[in-house]
């Protein structure tokens, strides 16, 4: 809930309660958008349904513009926004593993819980696989640790990494999103699929 609990504007219990309701709302929106359907999610990779791509790009643009304008208006200090450390090789390997799982199972971790919440058996099995993977990684952490910590790049922001302003980066992402929306519309016409 942002810095509200940290700055004692709200209590920890209120923070958890708000997070609970926001989580329910987020899950409801995902389900209404069709994100509980593995076919709809897998459709991004096969070109017949690009709703997921559009939703995530729209979310990224909204968050980027919000942070940019809040920063310009002095409502948020970007130096206080936490950025995870980047470990390049583990990010690449993890991305490949998650991408392969997404293509094969039709879910990502978040959408699998969305599907399981409405009784989808394939989503429940996906969650079991997710927990098996987490357990395996935890038990074999010593084996994976060198890869996990390889190529630590610190906590760079993309704008800093490329030496451009945050405004230019937002503009580039917006242009990329418009291009991806156009490609998505073209792909849906090129690779149509019967209603599911």
8 A C-beta contact, residue 84 and residue 156: no
Question: Residue 167: enclosing H or E segment and its boundaries?
Answer: helix 166-190
- C-alpha atoms less than 13 angstroms from C-alpha of 196 in its C-beta half-sphere: 13
How much is the pTM? 0.73
Residue by residue, pLDDT tens for the chain (196 residues) are 466 777 777 888 888 899 899 988 888 888 887 888 888 888 888 888 888 888 888 888 999 999 999 988 888 888 878 888 899 999 999 999 988 888 888 888 888 988 898 999 999 999 999 999 999 999 999 999 999 999 998 888 888 888 998 899 999 999 999 998 999 889 888 888 766 5
Residue 26 to residues 61, 80, 110, 122, Cα–Cα distance (Å): 17, 25, 10, 21
Residue 30 to residues 7, 37, 143, Cα–Cα distance (Å): 31, 10, 36
**CA atoms of 145 and 68, how far apart (whole Å):** 36
The conformation of residue 79, written as its DSSP 8-state character, comes to G
């Amino acid at each position: 809930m942002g810095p509200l609990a940290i700055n004692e504007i709200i209590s920890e219990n209120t923070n958890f309660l708000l997070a609970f309701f926001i989580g329910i709302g987020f899950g409801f929106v995902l389900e209404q958008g069709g994100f509980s359907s593995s076919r709809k999610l897998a459709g991004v990779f096969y070109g017949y349904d690009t709703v997921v791509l559009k939703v995530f790009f729209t979310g990224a643009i909204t968050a980027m513009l919000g942070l940019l304008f809040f920063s310009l208006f002095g409502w948020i200090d970007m130096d206080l926004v936490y950025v995870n450390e980047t470990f390049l090789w583990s990010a690449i390997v993890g991305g490949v593993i998650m991408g392969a799982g997404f293509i094969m199972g039709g879910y990502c971790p978040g959408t699998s819980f969305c599907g399981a919440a409405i009784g989808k058996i394939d989503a429940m099995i996906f969650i079991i696989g997710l927990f098996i993977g987490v357990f395996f990684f935890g038990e074999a952490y010593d084996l994976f640790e060198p890869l996990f910590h390889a190529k630590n790049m610190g906590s760079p922001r993309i704008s800093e990494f490329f030496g451009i302003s945050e405004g230019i980066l937002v503009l580039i992402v917006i242009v990329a999103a418009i291009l991806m929306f156009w490609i998505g519309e073209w792909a849906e016409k090129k690779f149509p699929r019967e209603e599911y």
